[in-house]
Amino acid sequence: MSDKTHFEKTVLLSLGHLGVVVASFLIPIFLSRWLAVELYGTYKQLMLIYLLAMVIGHMGMDNALFYFVKNKPEHRSLFSLNVMFFDSLVAGALCAGLCFFPDVFGQLFNNPDLAKPLPYFALFLFFSIPTQHFEHYLTVLDHIKAAIAVSFIYESLKAAVLIGGFYFFNSMEGVFLALAILTGIKFVTLAGFNLREWWRTPNRAQLSTQYFREQVRFSLPQGLTNLIAFCLKLDKFVISALFSVRQFTIYAVGCFEIPLIGSVSNTMTDLMSFDMVESRSNPERLKYLWHTTLRKVALFQVPVAAFLVFFSEPVIRFVFSDTYAESAPYFRIFTLILLLSGFSPEILFRVFARTGHLLRLQSVAALYTVAAVVASAYFFGPLGALFTKLVCDLCTQVLYSRAASRLLQLKASEYFPWAQVNRIVLVSALGAAMSWLCIAPFQLNVFWQLTMGGSVYAALLAASAIPTGLVMADEVDYLKEKVNRLLRFVPAS
């Protein structure tokens, strides 16, 4: 894949994710205002179970899909169906546990009200786990526009169901039943897409069985790695168990993950991994791909993170209302945690089929992170626990990076494009600080704080992007070309 093609796909996917972000943003904006704090906390706890189940559900099968499809693209439908079959088995077991032991989960989360909607939530989860690889699968097949369309349509409809369900019926059970129907349609669509090709494949049953064993053997170490990696995010479970539902809600709101940040960085690393699989025997090419990807991740994530850190309070008040203003310090720390995760080299261990080594590293990281977070929560409260998690995540990234540099055959000093990333950090931090200082003297409501502050920040970044070398010449030319093409469609006045 050429650099221009890589950049075009990154831009296209990033723009596509903007629509998903708009749809996703509507959910907390409405629910945090419509629901009582305790009821919204119950919803956040269900979403916490959802995230854990989505990690456990595929046990690495989704992550390994790109490896098998890229090596044997003619049997892509067999690989995807195997993932759906495996995920469905695990989903069935998880959902049975939720349905048969709802009171146990209510006690674990220190919230008896959690038990009532669990059976309906379990049905939604059953269809969600086997379909979570749909958009990633389309991206691997190079159906970029189809992946964007599926993601946007599904997230928009999901937002409509959540908002409409609570607004008209105010029933959490009804909302999750409707979400289960919506996700069931997605399940049928993906299954039909795969079965259409599967029926035309010779020896399909024999090949499916053979590939299934290969996929499971390849994926289980990655699945265990994912599970241990999730242990590094157990802070919310700790806070939920040790503190009240209200305190958990304040903490969970502060740990608000903006979907655009994670999805775009994942897209960039996914696109890079496809090229890396084909270039494993070329160290110089690997170094170039890795440095280019890190620069692009930094170019997107660092400016966003800088703005969120300086404007954390108006962001929280705008998205979640003034009720959750005390979540702002948590959001500031969590933004830095999210920024660190964007530079994680975990994808490299999959590219080089070294998931077992990653598993050992994550086991060590999980031990010291869980121990430190639990101790900090007990002695210093929720905010101390989150700050401790930031320190632990920083240590973990250093641990991963040392191992990843050896995979790339690089010295520690060559692993990271320090000059480029430091330049991005400096320009972004100065721009965000100046933007905040420009609007701080004025008594503005949160909407105008974000609008005016964001406009000043965007103008400062745009003015400094080319002189400071933040944006490469070919990227500027590409964007100019796209703008000119758009202007040709604008009728002359």
Residue 15 is predicted with a pLDDT of 55
**Nearest-angstrom CA–CA distance, 66 and 163:** 34
In the chain the first and final C-alpha atoms are separated, in Å, by 41
Query: Cβ(208)–Cβ(82) under 8 Å?
Result: yes
pLDDT at 251 over 70: yes
**More confident position, 170 or 118:** 118
* Distant-in-sequence, close-in-space partners of 124: CB < 8 Å, separation ≥ 6: 176, 177, 179, 180, 183
pLDDT tens-digit map of 134-183: 888 887 787 878 888 888 888 889 989 999 999 888 889 999 999 999 99
Local structure of 385: helix, strand or coil = helix
For residue 77, give the amino acid letter: S
Residue 366 is predicted with a pLDDT of 87
In the chain, domain spans: 35-231
Beta carbons within 10 angstroms of residue 409's beta carbon: 11
Helix %, strand %, coil % of the chain (to 5):
85, 0, 15
Residue 8 is predicted with a pLDDT of 55
pLDDT at 247 over 70: yes
pLDDT at 334 over 80: yes
Residue 7 is predicted with a pLDDT of 54
Residue 459 is predicted with a pLDDT of 93
The chain-wide mean pLDDT, for the chain, equals 84
What is the pTM (predicted TM-score) of this model?
Answer: 0.77
**Average pLDDT value for residue range 443-468:** 89
Query: Cβ(59)–Cβ(212) under 8 Å?
Result: no
For residue 101, give the amino acid letter: F
Out of 67-76, 201-210, 383-392, give the one with best mean pLDDT: 383-392
pLDDT at 487 over 80: no
Query: Cβ(66)–Cβ(274) under 8 Å?
Result: yes
**Average pLDDT value for residue range 452-473:** 84
Residue 493 is predicted with a pLDDT of 44
Instruction: Mean pLDDT check: name the lowest of 12-21, 56-65, 330-339, 449-458.
Output: 12-21
Residue 313 is predicted with a pLDDT of 94
What is the chain's length? 493
